[in-house]
């Protein structure tokens, strides 16, 4: 019986909306099953809660979860429809109106589209809808801007501008490991293996990986830890008492301030990660090893981070082409 229903629904996919397909499925179940029971229709909020719970199980960070909730809440409040009634046209109109009203960039609009795709694909997988209305909404083409990295000179100027030994250790660790700032704030003193110059970080999806730091980072980090008199287990803490674990925002603000003082307008923690990736590629590190070092699931993400310098392209052309 279930197979028959699926075949009928499959045959009608192109001709009916999600709402009509769901109604057809319910009627078929009711007519073909004498003991079928009508289940209570969940609210949009309940579906959203279930979706976010599923994302948490997959290892979604608190920050990403908040972004998902905010985006989907805004959409649901605007659309004023049961989620099973939403059509492709509804989504297209919402994205168009959103961009016009807020003058949003194409990157922002594509981020919203990706969240919609994740949510409606989950609804489809859970048999809450028959097919995702996002299927026919394609990726928004965005300009492929080459993102900046720190030059060797800028890194040295940042180091020279540090008046606090903590900031020097912070910059060195970010620059030599390429770890995410979210990974850094979770580190404790005991996580650092000075002998092997390595530590285990908890990355996206709660996956652990080993990152490595250089001799300079080891020296400055040891000096920083020896200078502390607090008993906080966190690797990096605030300068003022009572010393508390540094937050992502706290580190971002500190790096931004240090950069602003020496005229680097775009100074932020993630730029260290991109710089390490670019330099590693330029020096010949195999992309698969860099992927493992950065903790990327897909190699495409690693390639996106590693912007090969034009001078190296020129040298390679002369070497391999002539």
Residue spans of alpha helices (H) in 104-244:
106-125, 152-160, 165-177, 181-184, 215-227
Instruction: Please state which of the ranges 114-123, 143-152, 252-261 shows the lowest mean pLDDT.
Output: 143-152
Tally the C-alpha atoms within 13 A of residue 247's C-alpha that lie toward its C-beta. 4
What pLDDT, on the 0 to 100 scale, is given for residue 59? Answer: 76
- pLDDT(186) > 90: yes
- Cβ pair 75, 44 in contact under 8 A: no
- Domains in the chain and their CATH numbers? 40-125 (1.10.150), 152-319 (1.10.443.10)
297 pLDDT band, cuts 50/70/90, is confident
| CA dihedral angle for residue 203, residue 204, residue 209, residue 210, rounded to 10 degrees | -40
Both tokens of 46, joined, read 């309940």
User: What pLDDT digit, counting tens, does each position of 264-274 carry?
Assistant: 989 999 999 99
- Distance from the Cα of residue 207 to its chain's centroid: 14
* pTM recorded for the entire structure: 0.67
Over pLDDT 70: what percentage of the chain?
A: 90
User: What pLDDT digit, counting tens, does each position of 72-109 carry?
Assistant: 999 999 999 999 999 999 999 999 999 999 999 888 99
The terminus-to-terminus CA distance of the chain in angstroms comes to: 68
Mean pLDDT of the chain: 88
Phi-psi region of 127 (alpha: psi -120 to 50; beta: other; left: phi over 0): left
- pLDDT(144) > 90: no
Give the range with max mean pLDDT: 54-63, 184-193, 313-322.
Answer: 184-193
């Amino acid at each position: 019986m279930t197979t028959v229903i699926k075949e009928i629904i499959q045959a009608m996919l192109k001709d009916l909306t999600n709402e009509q397909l769901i109604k057809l499925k319910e009627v078929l179940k009711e007519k073909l099953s004498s003991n079928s029971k009508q289940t209570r229709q969940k609210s949009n909020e309940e579906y959203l809660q279930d979706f976010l719970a599923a994302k948490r199980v997959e290892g979604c960070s608190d920050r990403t979860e908040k972004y998902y909730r905010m985006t989907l809440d805004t959409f649901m409040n605007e659309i004023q429809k049961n989620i099973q009634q939403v059509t492709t046209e509804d989504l297209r109109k919402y994205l168009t109106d959103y961009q016009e009203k807020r003058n949003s960039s194409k990157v922002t609009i594509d981020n919203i589209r990706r969240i919609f795709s994740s949510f409606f694909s989950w609804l489809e997988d859970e048999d809450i809808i028959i097919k995702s209305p996002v299927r026919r909404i394609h990726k928004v083409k965005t300009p492929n801007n080459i993102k900046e990295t720190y030059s060797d000179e800028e890194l040295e100027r940042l180091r020279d501008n540090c008046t606090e030994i903590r900031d020097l250790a912070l910059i060195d660790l970010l620059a030599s490991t390429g770890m995410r700032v979210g990974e850094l704030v979770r580190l404790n003193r005991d996580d650092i293996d000075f002998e092997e110059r390595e530590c285990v970080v908890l990355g996206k999806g709660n996956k652990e990986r080993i990152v490595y730091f250089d001799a300079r980072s080891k020296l400055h980090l040891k000096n920083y830890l020896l200078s502390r008199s607090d008993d906080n287990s966190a690797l990096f803490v605030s300068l003022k008492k009572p010393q508390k674990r540094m937050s992502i925002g706290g580190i971002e603000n500190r790096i931004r301030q240090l950069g602003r003082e020496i005229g680097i307008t775009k100074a932020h923690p993630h730029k260290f990660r991109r710089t390490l990736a670019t330099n590693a590629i330029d020096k010949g590190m195999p992309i698969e090893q860099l992927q493992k070092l950065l903790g990327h699931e897909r190699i495409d993400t690693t390639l996106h981070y590693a912007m090969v310098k034009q001078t190296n392209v020129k040298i390679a052309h002369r070497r391999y082409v002539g």
